[in-house]
Amino acid sequence: MTKNIDQTIVDFVNWSVQEADVDPLDRVYIKNRLLTLLGKIEISPLSPSAEPVDALQLLDDMIDYAVQEEVIEDLSSAKDSLGAKIMDLITPSPSEINRLFWSAYEDSYEKATQFFFRKSQLNNYIKTREIAKNIEYTHATEYGDLEITINLSKPEKDPKEIALGANSSSSYPECMLCLENEGYEGHITHPGRANHRIIRMNVNGEEWGLQYSPYAYYNEHSIFLSKVHRKMNVGIRAIENLLDILTTFPHYFVGSNAGLPIVGGSILSHDHYQGGRYTFPLEQSEIEKEIELAETPSVQAGIVKWPMSVIRLRSENKEELIQAADKVMTQWEKYSNASVGIHSHTDGTPHNAITPIARRKGEAFELDMVLRNNRTSEDYPDGIFHPHPPVQHIKKENIGLIEVMGLAILPPRLKTELETVRQYLIGEADSVDAIHQRWADELKQNNTITADNVKDVVEEAVGEVFLQVLKDAGVFKRDEEGMQAFLDFAQTLN
């Protein structure tokens, strides 16, 4: 084993110089730091392997060695922390990564983000192997092709570690999005972030950070985060921030989750947005009904043909666009219409919110303002404009920014559950999970199913469920009454 681990170290150092742009002068330094991390005091003088190497496999081998030699405990948190510390050795320091980023930016903003994204992949901060496990396909609808993903990238929590971390009271960093995560070693309840880097940037006069999502759902899946740990505030300041980010990165889209529970994202405690270099189904949907905005004549506006309720604004005049967005937000915040179940407040508690999404179209800025409402009722305790019980066997979680744009993030349990459904449909299983039984029986009754088409039948059915999920989350339904109410709301903008 000693020779094997020595060869692994030598190969990893050689890979870092050849593929990760590490300066050859750092060879000895990295080798010696690896010895320390792995609890070794010497290494055999070996030449690099002649065959191509897989850097992540080398990383796994070093972590396995550390577990075997009891350098670290056999816990996923300990292995995660060591892996991050090893990859930190091949990652430029925060100051250097920022210098390289903004130097590349002087040439082009595309080169700058491509450089940082690639670095974040090479050092395993972006979990490329885990992301590759996700199940992905598209589903054709009258609103365009929706994108379906069963998320298998995030590791399951180890029950042993959950128990060990139950009494952890650490409040540093305050949350997963704080700048203080950069370089943090991590512990049993907090992932290792030694290899984590954040680009510092100015957003609307404040210091913000740009990082990539470790479990990216799309190309250059980025997170823009406030330096200050403060709650999400999706008001007009957020709109100004989104447009300012697009001024810096015009090749990106950038959007925000709504700022209320149920319709908001998973982290409402830290002001942040998500963006990236990707075209979502919503962006490709067209305006089906134009809206005239008398106070902002330079702004084109209209209702988008989409299962949720979306007003699109577009203008080259940033100030008028912000003014129009402010009007939509202000009017929606106080809007109620009992005939379609919309109430802005109950007992002083606000329910209306906006999920804003911004992008560039040439010289113009484009804003999609998705209308949300988080009210609950006795019939819908999880949310009136939330996935309803008939579809919760597939998707019960909140509908956030990414799903609003037409990309389903479905839970990992579905991988095995849907396989059982497929077996049931072709007679190889007697039953399915209770939550899927009625749905599976309907599929069997309404389709001619064979071993050759069962996969397509189930995938199409899941796609239809996601379409219904979006319809459930739409505040103005796509029937005659709902569309008329939507038009009535649009009239209030004048």
Residues 268-303 pLDDT 10s: 899 999 999 999 999 999 999 999 999 999 999 999
Residue 346 has pLDDT above 90, yes or no: yes
pLDDT band at 1 (very low <50, low <70, confident <90, very high): very low
Residue 371 has pLDDT above 60, yes or no: yes
pLDDT of residue 2: 53
Query: Which of 260, 204, 194, 206 is CA-nearest to residue 231?
Result: 260
Residue linked to tokens 């740009």? 210
Residue-wise pLDDT for 10-43, tens only, equals 999 999 999 999 999 999 999 999 999 999 999 9
**Range 386-409 average pLDDT:** 96
Residue 53 has pLDDT above 70, yes or no: yes
Residue 415 has pLDDT above 60, yes or no: yes
Residue 51 has pLDDT above 50, yes or no: yes
pLDDT band at 170 (very low <50, low <70, confident <90, very high): confident
How does DSSP classify residue 80?
A: H
d(C-alpha 283, C-alpha 366), whole Å: 10
- Cβ(440)–Cβ(432) under 8 Å? yes
Residue-wise pLDDT for 80-126, tens only, equals 999 999 999 999 999 999 999 999 999 999 999 999 999 999 999 99
φ, ψ for residue 422, nearest 5 deg: -60, -45
pLDDT above 70 covers a percentage of the chain that reads: 97
User: What one-character-per-residue DSSP string does 95-116 give?
Assistant: HHHHHHHHHHHHH-HHHHHHHH
Taking CA 88 as the corner, what is the angle to CA 32 and CA 185, rounded to the nearest 5 degrees? 105
Burial letters for 205-236: b for 16+ Cβ neighbours within 10 Å, e otherwise? eeebbbbbbbbbbbebbbbbbbeebeebebee
d(C-alpha 130, C-alpha 488), whole Å: 47
| More confident call, 167 vs 445 | 445
What is the distance in angstroms between the CA of the first residue and the CA of the last residue of the chain? 75
Query: Which of 125, 44, 142, 60 is CA-nearest to residue 87?
Result: 125
Q: What is the mean pLDDT of the chain?
A: 95
Query: Which of 178, 175, 224 is CA-nearest to residue 199?
Result: 224
**Is 333 strand, coil or helix?**
helix
**Range 57-78 average pLDDT:** 96
For residue 222, list its beta bridge partners: 212, 275
The count of other CB atoms within 10 Å of the CB of residue 428 is: 11
> In the structure encoding, which two tokens stand for residue 363, read together?
């010289």
pLDDT band at 454 (very low <50, low <70, confident <90, very high): very high
Number of alpha carbons in the 13 Å side-chain half-sphere of residue 287: 16
pTM of the model: 0.94
pLDDT of residue 279: 98
Strands 300-304 and 310-315: antiparallel
d(C-alpha 173, C-alpha 436), whole Å: 40
**Is 277 strand, coil or helix?**
coil
d(C-alpha 184, C-alpha 85), whole Å: 9
Residue-wise pLDDT for 203-223, tens only, equals 999 999 999 999 999 999 999
Q: Which amino acid is at 206?
A: E
Strand order in the sheet with 135-141: 135-141, 144-150, 407-410
**Is 94 strand, coil or helix?**
helix
Query: Which of 204, 248, 202, 273 is CA-nearest to residue 360?
Result: 248
d(C-alpha 142, C-alpha 15), whole Å: 49
Measured over the CA atoms of residue 211, residue 217, residue 220 and residue 226, the dihedral's sign is negative
Residue 3 has pLDDT above 90, yes or no: no
pLDDT of residue 142: 97
Number of alpha carbons in the 13 Å side-chain half-sphere of residue 402: 24
- Cβ(231)–Cβ(268) under 8 Å? yes
d(C-alpha 319, C-alpha 338), whole Å: 34
